[in-house]
Chain A
């Protein structure tokens, strides 16, 4: 980051110190080369409730008279739209077949509901009954939260030897890893089992803090713990 900060210091004549890329992108509207939008364009706000809250807090004043980028095709103002599910759909998608990917996920959600409803109806104890989650969206979020790692191993070469060094990772990276692991776990199946069905089971398992994905996360954490002696190689 240091050389970048110097560059920006000289170009923008501002002494701003950015310690990570995200802050940098926010402060300076970095634009892709050949982007159809100039640097003055802002991202669209396509959610109704977000717009309303922006009006209430007065935040809207900042972007009211600024050109806005066109909304993406998957940006919908539907009340059922969920940003994480959208992201997950894009990771499930292969060869741009988004409709198929969306159908698979919807089918998985339906299956989750069936699994959990059966559990709900089969538990007799009324106290336990209320604790059975039947909302597929909540289960998805819980599964994702339970599968997110906090550390990762990076190969770093010191003195001719490559060490697996534990490094902290960003929230975005850990979210990506969690999604990737869930999808990989769901694809590791018998050819007769359909993807949505296995995905449903993986999500239900992960939401209950068990199953393949959570084990994978725990293994990684254990490995990081074992390699803690190499941690200093990250900076020295």
Chain B
């Protein structure tokens, strides 16, 4: 294990080292391709928009431009959450879901394309100031995962479980543990929605028998979807199903039957001792005593391969005593950091000059910026100054104009 660990670490270091060289090479080799695409879609020749909606082909030619997520993909990926609420509203007003191709996403996509999947799963931790686009970056990567044929394990927003869980009950099988039945079932539905098409193609079967109660059990060798269905239909066992499902996927992945992409938003919520999950005896439950936590702690370990783990740490995801910094080491705490170490930190920063211009152009194109003054150089300068290059703040500053 230690050997693997070091090997993992060195491969990361080299990856980071050579990535910049590769970027430059890519710039030259795909220029012709990009111009072809642009020529074929004359409608889309704009500086802020790219017609390339396949994230497999995204590279630095498409940087700082918006690409459209097709409606059916959006329905498959984000029907049960995954995009921020306000972003969804914007998508509705704009009549399309567009995501800017940005550096952190491209960096991760590049790593995902070039990583050696026979090695232990690499953990990527996305961090950044709130409103800078961590969740949108995740959405982009998720789209990549779907098109590249990864099995997706996606948690839209972990703090939802820790803050506004729908139902709390004591675990029947584990002493002192707590089940969030409805949330677990909801997650299973989300999982099924994202992966049903893929799971029908590749034949994954349950590796051992699970006995839920005296009468109910899942036989060895039934399709994995049946396990999911069981959790959805028998909500009482949903949490256990999630744990079992995750362990099964890990096993299949390690044996090379599928590629798995784990995407978890707000991962640091698993490591903050305070939650709003309260038992019937009015006792606050720490995340470590929630069954769901175990599943996602299990899948973020590095003792499996043929997969990648992409997490975000978000200071809005935890209670307000841990909001001084957005850096992973502070947000994860000692326990979380030791669990994830070693990982590749990916920083999502504020907009650059180019990105801001492209975003403003996009808003003008979608008729979101209407004030005559916002078309002038002076108006744009003022917007830039007001938002401080923060994407979310820019969105809010532009809202009444």
Contact = CB atoms under 8 A, between A and B. Distances in A.
Nearest to A48: B378
A106 B395 CA distance: 13
A117 B93 contact: yes
Contacts of A118: 93
Contacts of A113: 93, 368, 370, 399-400
Nearest to A103: B400
A136 B371 CA distance: 8
Contacts, number: 46
Interface string A95-114: 00000000001110110011
A79 B400 CA distance: 14
B379 A136 contact: no
A80 B93 contact: no
Interface residues of B, number: 17
A114 B401 CA distance: 12
Contact of A79 (B95, B368, B382, B399): B382
Given A117-B93, A118-B93, A121-B95, A80 B367 contact: no
User: How many interface residues does chain A have, given as a range?
Assistant: 10 to 19
A117 B374 CA distance: 18
Nearest to A138: B370
B373 interface: yes
A120 B370 CA distance: 13
B376 interface: yes
The residue among A80, A110, A117, A134 with the most chain B CB atoms within 10 A of its own CB is: A80
Nearest to A120: B367
Contact of B373 (A79, A120, A138): A79
Interface in B343-400: 367-368, 370-374, 376, 378-379, 382, 399-400
A117 B373 contact: no
10 contacts: A79-B373, A79-B376, A79-B378, A107-B400, A109-B399, A110-B400, A113-B399, A117-B93, A135-B370, A136-B370
Interface of A: 78-80, 105-107, 109-110, 113-114, 117-118, 120-121, 134-138
Interface of B: 89, 93, 95, 367-368, 370-374, 376, 378-379, 382, 399-401
